[in-house]
A and B are shown apart, each in its own frame.
Chain A
């Protein structure tokens, strides 16, 4: 079985490094292509790999090529002649005709203006969220449980057997054995062999016998020495050392407020949910320590879990301020501003019980905005409404009320969404990095 080596268990993905180099190289084109490809797709599909087509610009690998279409003459041979005889003429297909000539032409021409390949979900989300961040994130106090990681800290002489550093250990052992002249196994064997051959000698003369005695003595010495100069001595052993180091984190909580009342049609709810799904993905990927609180409301607000928030149905009247109250209540209970960055995103169709909008504005101005790092309000409209409310100025009651808040607070943002294609751009707009915006 000397000829075969089973490599199947060797690590695969040797090309991963090269793939990352390629993605990095084509970053600009890929980013563009990812945005384009995500624009029209459902958010639910975002967590799938997909084919991406990028222009070859930036990743071209030009070589000198001959261009026989431009000039000169050549001869070439083809297989499968059917009816041609010498002197026949075959019309050259015009470029774009496809067929045989087209294929040949592409051998010579630029060939690859577009390049298509598959990207994994990870790679796509990385790129999509690349330059987004939670605005105004402040490092608040390091609370009692900062996260910790293990870092390498050189080599020690004590440790657990699983952390033994074989290379260092054996190097030490080798050096010590050399220095103390530990007889090698092969030396012992040679002595044994000599002794044996002496024993077999006939006749056994005096000289032989004394040689044998000397050999035996030498052998005994060597064996004794091998005993007290150990192969691996505790002195030799080294361990990899690790120390625990605290990693400073900033804590943040995101309140997701969604109107699920009867006035929100299925379409509106669907849009809102998609927006939150994206937000959810974004926070999960980019921030290890972000709490997310889901609050949904009709005429009454409840805190729910992720599953309920995205997938259950409910209906009723609309009182937006109940959600804000709920949020404040939770914040007071669990998220002290000294320790937490507080964010909120609210989605609604803009309708609320008359008079409630005023109350909302009061709450926002007096209680909520002083606590919040950032507050995003997303209004879901249908497309007809979108046309009516083309300008930022006009809108339903809640929108007009919130505009006043936006004027007063810089970290309050309002956006409108009317179709799935709006979600990605609006999302990017809301969470664009400060530098990028400047």
Chain B
């Protein structure tokens, strides 16, 4: 990992710092959720993203704020990297009326159109056909937006994946299929569920551009993301990116993780993308003080977000009748 980082030197310093800032924003958010769950201050079903921070940060740094994102229940890294204000996200995760969705969606259903987060789905694979629709809207209106849909390696075994790739390729939609291959679908290892040797092997069947990269390497990941974004924006069609990563914790917070071989965990810890990224920055001459300042700013935002979430009100019970249909349901 460190070696690969040393070799790559083709993105500018400002972009690299931005990817790092987003990575740390994800890392610290995820860490804080787990701390508060551990201490009993929060109670919710939480899908950890430890180990997948740099992947998301690199992808989202290649997008504009108004580009569209569709993600899944394990999506807090994607949402935070895309730029959702942490106070809105935290309030939604805690079911408060000040949340992105007034507390009515919750962690698995984050929507924030202001930052392009259009759909978060709890149904594996369901985001891909919807991403096509968002991209279709951009293709028809000519608004120049690109849509990114994130999903795991497990989602490539469900029918919606195949229907969506076929349609996107057929219609040359400005959409990027970002497969975050974290090597496990829930508790089942990749090889036990997936017949293809690698996910990119599925793209030629749909005549689709595809690339497999180390998603934990910010430079490799950003370059793949940027290439796909540029292609989509130029009207050259979709790309499937298989970004290799690793889910360092269980499927949900506190879930059994004993099915993962010890050696794999050891290897993952040795290749943890966050310390590696820090080393990369230091190697490239970024000062400790600059890194500390970035982290301090995130800590401050996070402290304020948690405080805001905990002190906010729950939605009023009239919300049961609101947003079911456009017109309020009669009491």
- Whether chain B is bound by chain A comes out as no
